[in-house]
Structure 1
C-alpha cells in the first residue's frame, strides 16, 4: 500500500509540523538505533563498506568537535568538495551538529567556480578529497576568508589531514540547539544572466525533506534506496541524505560512474527496492540490450527528476519490467513541488500533481490562476519550510522572485481539467542537460576569454539522450577563420575553465548575433535555427 493513500485526502490534510528548534544530526541521525543500517557503500576499486546510524552518529560527533577545535563555529560557512564517499554524509552531519552552514560543491567544479563560491559565501573552511586539491590550490590565495583547509585521503602541506583530526577528536559532542529558521545549507544555482545564486536553506528545511521521501520515494520499512545523483547537487541532499535518513532508510552509495551493464547488475546484486536516476540514465538504459535481459525483480518503485522524462522511455521500462517511472519536478530553491505519486494515475508526459504541503498554482501576469489548459507561471503560495529563506547576500534577487505572496519558479506549465500539470518550458534561458542545470551567462563569459571569440550566445539544442545539450553561436575576430580545429580548441578552453559537463557540444560560427533594438540577444531566434 503506497504511503500516499488517497491523494486528495492526503494533500488536503497534510501539515508540516516543523518544530521551533531542530538539528538533523541530533534529532534524526543520533535518534535511530545504533545498529540500524544506514549505508551500503561501494568503492570504485571494488571495496565495500557497511555503516549504521550509530557509526555516523559517532563519526559526525568527532568531525563536529574537530572543526570546532580548529576554529570553525556556529554560522560559519564551510565548502565541501567530495565525491561519493561515506565521509560526505559524516561531514555534512557534523556541520549540522556544529551549527555551521555547509556548501556542497561538485567535484567537477574548476578553480574559478570555487573562487566565486568562496568569495560570495564568505566561507572560512574547505574540506576536499584528492579530486579537488589541484583546483583548490589554484584559487586559495585569491580567497582570503578561507582560513582552514582539511584534506581527505592525502596529506598535503598547508592542509589539516582529515584522518588525523578525526583520530584526535572525541566521540562526545553536544549538538547546537539550532532554531528551524537558522541557516543550514547554501546550495548554488546555475547562473542565467548573472552569476550562480547561493540558495540559503534552513534547519527547518532539513526536517521538511521527509515529505518527498515518504510520498514520492514512497520509502517503507526494509527498503534499500539507490539514488545515483552526484554530491554537488540539491538532488543528492534530497535523496542521498536528508530524505531517506529521516525515515531510517538504508541507502546504496556507489562511487563509480555510469556504466549501463554494471548499473543493472548492481541493482540485482544488492536488492535495490527503490531506484532514483536522472532522466538521461533512464533514456540510455532504455536503448541497451542489457535492459531486456536484466533481473530487476527487487525494484518495486522508480523515480526520476531533473527534467521531463520522455513518454516513450516510461513506456519502455513498463513494457520490459512492469516498472512505472514516477516523474517529479522541483528546484534547488525548494523541494519536489509537483510529482507523479504511487497510487495516483500516471499520465505519461505530465509533471503530475502538487505535493502535499505545496500549494502550487499556474498564474498569469496579474497573479490570477489560469483557466485549464492555459499556460502560465508555476508559482508556490506562502512560505512552507521547504522553500529557501533567501539568496545569500542578494536581497534584490530574493525580492524579485516573490510576487503577491507567491514564489515564482521561472518555469511555465498548464493545468488540465483534472488538476495535472504539464511542463511548457522555462521563463529564462537555463539549459537542462542530462539533469544538470547550466546557465548560459557563465559559458558565454568563458567563451569570450578565448582569443578568437568576439561574441557568443549559448542556447539549448535538442538531444535524444541528454534532453538538451549546450550549443554556442560564436562570432569570430577578423584574424580567425572557422574550422573544426578551432571548434575543438574552444571546447577544450571551456573544459579547462569550468565543469566539463558545461562545455558546448555544438558550436556554430556566425557572422553576427541577432539582437533586439536595445542590444539584447534574441535567443529565441537562435533556438529556432
Structure 2
C-alpha cells in the first residue's frame, strides 16, 4: 500500500510482523481499499452526499451540523499544515475535556494525515512528558483551560515544538488562526494501514504503552460492534461520560454516531446528576457510561422513564449482575454489556438486549473470535477459568515496546483478563490477571500510585492493590511504611492522599490507606503482593 506518511516514525516502530496478531477480515464489509482516510468516511462523506445540514455535535450553548464540523476541521487542518508545519505522519497531542473543539481538532489532525494522540484531561506534566517521549510528539492542540500542566511538560520536552491553545480568545489562539484559514481542505489520501491514532494505556509497570491503530481499524470498529450489537439509527442522540482519550469514549461518543449520521452530545463534566440533566435537556437516546454511574442513576428511574433514552451501554469495568437488574427495574431498559481494550481499540465481546444474561459479558462480536487458554496457550474446556484470547480485524501493535511479546502469542491477543466460557459460548469475567486496578471505569496501574507515594519524604516504602468495592468495582488501597519519627494517623493519611492527587491524575489516589510496620517480601526482597489481599 502507498503510505502518505512523510514522517515515517510510526511505520518504523511497528512491532515486527511475526509479533503482530493474526488479523481477520472475514466479513464482506471489512474488505477495505488500499487508500483510506477515516475522516473522509466519517465526516466528508455525509456532506458530499447531502447530509451537511444534519445535526452533528451538541454541547451546552453549541449546535454544530456536519457541515459546521467539516468547516472547522478543514480550517484546523490548514492551520496545522500552513501555520504549524505539520507533515503527514507527525504526532499531535490533544488535551481537552470532552467538547466540540476537541472533536474538531481530532478530525483536523486525521484529515491532514497526522496521528492523533489524545490524552486524559486529568493527567499531570509528569505523565504528559512520558507520552511526548514515547510518541516523539512534535505538535499539540490544547484547551486553554488545561494549559498549565501542558506548559510544564513542554518546557522539558524540546521535541514538542508547535503548540496552539483553543477555547482561547488571544491573537495567537487556534480560533484566531482558524478565522484566517481556508474552509477548504483536501483530505490526505492516506493508506488504510497508515497509523492515525496512538492510544496510550498504562501497563502494570506504570510505564505507558502506545497502541497503534490504522485508518482501517477505526472503520472496522464502526462496522462490527455498532452494526451487529448496538443497532443505532441516524435519529439517535449519543451521550456519555468516558473521555474521548479513552478509545471506549472515542468510539461511543464520536466515531459511532458519525458513522451512521447521528448526533452526539459532548459534556465537559458528566457526573451522574449532570448526565441525568443532559439526558433530559438534549433528548439523549443512547448512553455510554460505567457501571458506577448506572448504579447511582438507577435511583432516578422515574425521571429516566420520562426521557427518550432507549439504549444503555456499559463498559470500562465488569458489570455486576445486581447493577444490571437494578437498572432494568428502574428504567425498563436492558443494559448492553461489553469488554474492549485500548489494544483492540473497542468492544470485542458483547451482547444485544435480547441476548443478555446476568453475570455474562456476552459472546464474540461478529468479526472477532475469542477463546480461553491456559498458561501454555492451550485451549481449555468450557467452565474452566483461564486467560482470554481474542483476534479480529483489530489487534495489539505496541509502538517499540518489548511487552508486545506478552500481549500477542500464537497470533492471538491476550488481554490480561481471566474469564471462563460456558457451554453456550457466553464469556464470564473473573478478574484481571495482572496488577491493573479498574475503579469507576478508570484503568490505574498500581506502580503509578506507588511511585507517587514514594516521592513523599515521610514514606519509607509502600505497595498498592485494588480491593473490591460495591460502588466503584475496585478501590485503590495503599499500604504504607513510614520513615522513623513520622506519626501514623488521619492527618498523615490525608497528607499522603492530597500529595498523590497533586502529582498524578487525581482519580488514581488511594481512597483506602493502611499504615503497616513492614511489607511482605520474599527472601530475595520481591514484594508478595498477593499477601496484601489476605485478611490482616
TM-score (norm 1): 0.92
Do 2:58 and 2:100's aligned partners in 1 also have CA atoms closer than 8 Å? Answer: no
Give the deviation of 1:373 after TM superposition. 0.4
Give the deviation of 1:40 after TM superposition. 2.0
Deviations 1:151-174 (A, max 9, x none): 112367xx9411111011111111
Do 1:296 and 1:321's aligned partners in 2 also have CA atoms closer than 8 Å? Answer: no
Are 2:310 and 1:310 equivalent residues in the alignment? no
Alignment counterpart, residue 299 of structure 1, candidates 309, 318, 323: 309
Output aligned runs, 1:5-84, within 5 Å.
16-32=30-46, 33-42=51-60, 48-69=61-82, 70-84=84-98
Deviations 1:412-442 (A, max 9, x none): 1000000000011111010000000000111
Are 2:225 and 1:212 equivalent residues in the alignment? yes
Deviations 1:129-159 (A, max 9, x none): 1232111122222101010110112367xx9
Partner of 2:198: 186
Output aligned runs, 1:265-276, within 5 Å.
265-276=277-288
Are 2:342 and 1:332 equivalent residues in the alignment? yes
CA distance, structure 1, for counterparts of residue 90 and residue 331 of structure 2: 48
Do 1:276 and 1:304's aligned partners in 2 also have CA atoms closer than 8 Å? Answer: yes
Output aligned runs, 1:331-370, within 5 Å.
331-334=341-344, 335-344=346-355, 346-370=356-380
Partner of 1:6: none
CA distance, structure 2, for counterparts of residue 320 and residue 145 of structure 1: 52
Alignment counterpart, residue 381 of structure 2, candidates 371, 390, 399: 371
CA distance, structure 2, for counterparts of residue 297 and residue 153 of structure 1: 31
Partner SS, residue 458 of structure 1: strand
Q: 1:411 to 1:203 in 2, by over 3 A?
A: same
TM-score (norm 2): 0.90
Alignment counterpart, residue 148 of structure 1, candidates 142, 162, 171: 162
Give the deviation of 1:368 after TM superposition. 2.2
Q: CA RMSD in A?
A: 1.8
Are 2:214 and 1:198 equivalent residues in the alignment? no
Give the deviation of 1:94 after TM superposition. 0.8
Aligned length: 504
Give the deviation of 1:337 after TM superposition. 1.2
Do 2:368 and 2:393's aligned partners in 1 also have CA atoms closer than 8 Å? Answer: no
Do 2:94 and 2:117's aligned partners in 1 also have CA atoms closer than 8 Å? Answer: yes
Alignment counterpart, residue 409 of structure 1, candidates 415, 433, 439: 415
CA distance, structure 2, for counterparts of residue 250 and residue 435 of structure 1: 24
CA distance, structure 2, for counterparts of residue 25 and residue 160 of structure 1: 27
Give the deviation of 1:270 after TM superposition. 2.5
CA distance, structure 2, for counterparts of residue 205 and residue 58 of structure 1: 25
Give the deviation of 1:479 after TM superposition. 2.2
Q: After the TM superposition, which of the residue ranges 262-271 and 458-467 deviates more from structure 2?
A: 262-271
Output aligned runs, 1:358-507, within 5 Å.
358-381=368-391, 384-388=392-396, 390-394=397-401, 396-507=402-513
Alignment counterpart, residue 528 of structure 1, candidates 525, 528, 534: 534
Give the deviation of 1:12 after TM superposition. 8.7
CA distance, structure 2, for counterparts of residue 420 and residue 220 of structure 1: 27
Give the deviation of 1:446 after TM superposition. 0.9
Give the deviation of 1:105 after TM superposition. 0.9
CA distance, structure 1, for counterparts of residue 228 and residue 240 of structure 2: 16
Q: After the TM superposition, which of the residue ranges 408-417 and 136-145 deviates more from structure 2?
A: 136-145
Partner of 1:264: 276
Q: 1:85 to 1:386 in 2, by over 3 A?
A: same
Do 2:169 and 2:176's aligned partners in 1 also have CA atoms closer than 8 Å? Answer: no
Partner of 2:257: 244
Do 1:14 and 1:356's aligned partners in 2 also have CA atoms closer than 8 Å? Answer: no
Alignment counterpart, residue 510 of structure 1, candidates 510, 513, 516: 516
Partner SS, residue 30 of structure 2: coil
Deviations 1:14-62 (A, max 9, x none): 65223322112222201102112212222xxxxx221111111121111
Give the deviation of 1:291 after TM superposition. 2.8
Partner of 2:295: 283
Runs of 4+ in 1 over 6 A off after TM superposition: none
Residue ranges of structure 1 left out of the alignment (5+ in a row): 1-10, 43-47
Deviations 1:291-315 (A, max 9, x none): 3444345222211001111211211
Q: 1:160 to 1:386 in 2, by over 3 A?
A: farther
CA distance, structure 2, for counterparts of residue 65 and residue 13 of structure 1: 36
Give the deviation of 1:268 after TM superposition. 3.1
Q: After the TM superposition, which of the residue ranges 325-334 and 245-254 deviates more from structure 2?
A: 245-254
Q: 1:250 to 1:140 in 2, by over 3 A?
A: same
Give the deviation of 1:480 after TM superposition. 1.1
Do 2:444 and 2:508's aligned partners in 1 also have CA atoms closer than 8 Å? Answer: yes
Partner SS, residue 481 of structure 1: coil
Residue ranges of structure 2 left out of the alignment (5+ in a row): 1-24
Partner SS, residue 159 of structure 2: coil
Partner of 1:110: 124
